[in-house]
Structure 1
């Protein structure tokens, strides 16, 4: 678990992925790896067309189709290599050390699983090249990535803004306290003020949990502002983010509460879709 690994594709969000990955690499003092995975389903390395022989088919036509598929895959790999080289140039300009380039032909999830032991932080765009351009769209592979890859994941917004204020969504549960401990131990948000926000009743139990979490972060050297707010989780967090100029949201990736049930229930899916800032998922 040594590298910051950034997933690069042909989408506009890859520019922001490069910038956030360069920032994270410097914050963590960790080497950066840029990864491009060519989808095997869209660009098969070789095509088996034997099952397509039917009325009017000719062997030479099938061979030509297979050749065209192979040419398309080769050109797509070359384009991907060019994207990686341009991405490396951008990250170096942003201050990152000269990154390693990796290219795979297969499936994104399988590739990330194979590389998981080397990943300290995964950086990926909220939407990819195959995703809709709707404002609140969410990439089709994000859910599978989060469910499968057991590493911290930074899901970027479509444009880059250097993080200056961090909001940690907190609900007082053991998993939420674990998220606090992970953030306290990480160098990623060092020297950034933390807004510790709990959505719920202003009760004695909630205040005690919030104070404990605040103490953990302050002991690690963070400046922490703790706050209990009322309302629906998504709406309350969005309002707080807008009022305080928050530009990085931190959440736990596991659990069953309304805040922490990432992509299991609709609450956090909606939060991720509607967030205008990057989201850091800790586990």
Structure 2
């Protein structure tokens, strides 16, 4: 019987260097969404049984050194892998409790690859939080591409943002994300910079103005900017850095596969370029 609770924030703990940041980001999102946190750990497959060093991944007042013992072997047995995951989940729950997190926290210990675990939680969750560097063979961009749930990618430290950059390209996914931003409490308290990178045409100006007006009507404090540039990634990162914006938000893989093949994917480039949390909204 499934213990997945609907409308959860899912904290993926499959990234040793980012466990604490993933938990911090998940607690931040959980409070704003008034949602429980599902702590998700997927036991690695037999082909990925090399010991993964989770020791020191959390700063908690705990005398437990078992995670360090698990990394003293080059490879772990199936039972040891399961025990490592169980211990990691226990320490993650203790970390949330230590930080006096008010929402419910529960564990999801899955004995399958991460990509299958994300498929399991995808349809019933509000948000998935994941670290930038994964231990699984599937690439981060591959996981994001398959998801139907918004994904928040974090680096080694999570700082609660006060501002966000919404990259608006007037495509279907951007409009879907715009509607979601107008409704979700996740970013309601933030100042949102809605930025379009493209030619300064009446069509683009009208589209940007209408999107800005929609955010304003939803009661969101926002600003707008149109940037003429051929390099979308460079323009967005420059604007983000120049205005010290703490959260990047875009649709995920909104380009056609042909354009990605010819020009490269803006999503992949942004994933590798931004140093702040990055919220990706699933493509239609």
Instruction: Give, in whole Å, the separation in 1 of the partners of 2:249 and 2:222.
Output: 14
- CA drift of 1:43 comes to 6.1
TM-aligned CA distance change 1:153 to 1:261, over 3 Å: farther
The residue aligned with 1:162 is 160
Structural mapping, 1:84-95, within 5 Å: 84-92=89-97, 93=99, 95=101
TM-aligned CA distance change 1:239 to 1:257, over 3 Å: farther
Q: Deviations over 1:195-239 (max 9, x none)?
A: 001111222111110110001111111011000112211111111
Structural mapping, 1:190-205, within 5 Å: 190-205=188-203
- Secondary structure, counterpart of 1:123 in structure 2: strand
Query: Which one of the candidate residues 64, 73, 84 is aligned to 2:78?
Result: 73
State whether structure 2 residue 182 is matched by structure 1 residue 177: no
RMSD of equivalent CA atoms: 2.6
- CA drift of 1:176 comes to 1.7
The residue aligned with 1:278 is 277
Structural mapping, 1:6-45, within 5 Å: 6-9=11-14, 11-42=16-47
The answer on whether the counterparts of 1:25 and 1:96 sit within 8 Å (CA) in structure 2 is no
TM-aligned CA distance change 1:79 to 1:181, over 3 Å: same
- Secondary structure, counterpart of 1:276 in structure 2: coil
List structure 1 segments (4+ residues) > 3 angstroms apart after TM superposition.
none
Structural mapping, 1:219-234, within 5 Å: 219-231=217-229, 232-234=231-233
| TM-score normalised by structure 2 residue count | 0.80
Q: Deviations over 1:42-97 (max 9, x none)?
A: 467xxxxxxxxxxxxxxxxxxxxxxx9x9711112111111111111222316342
The answer on whether the counterparts of 1:13 and 1:128 sit within 8 Å (CA) in structure 2 is no
- CA drift of 1:175 comes to 2.8
TM-aligned CA distance change 1:208 to 1:186, over 3 Å: same
Query: Which one of the candidate residues 7, 10, 13 is aligned to 1:2?
Result: 7
- CA drift of 1:257 comes to 6.7
TM-aligned CA distance change 1:111 to 1:167, over 3 Å: same
Instruction: Give, in whole Å, the separation in 1 of the partners of 2:154 and 2:260.
Output: 19
Instruction: Report the count of equivalent residues.
Output: 250
TM-aligned CA distance change 1:148 to 1:246, over 3 Å: same
Instruction: Give, in whole Å, the separation in 2 of the partners of 1:250 and 1:25.
Output: 18
The answer on whether the counterparts of 2:33 and 2:185 sit within 8 Å (CA) in structure 1 is yes
Structural mapping, 1:43-54, within 5 Å: none
Instruction: Give, in whole Å, the separation in 2 of the partners of 1:201 and 1:115.
Output: 40
The residue aligned with 1:64 is none
Structure 2: which 5+ runs fail to align?
Answer: 1-5, 50-72
193-202 vs 113-122, greater mean Cα deviation = 113-122
| TM-score normalised by structure 1 residue count | 0.81
- CA drift of 1:163 comes to 1.1
The answer on whether the counterparts of 2:196 and 2:208 sit within 8 Å (CA) in structure 1 is yes
TM-aligned CA distance change 1:76 to 1:228, over 3 Å: same
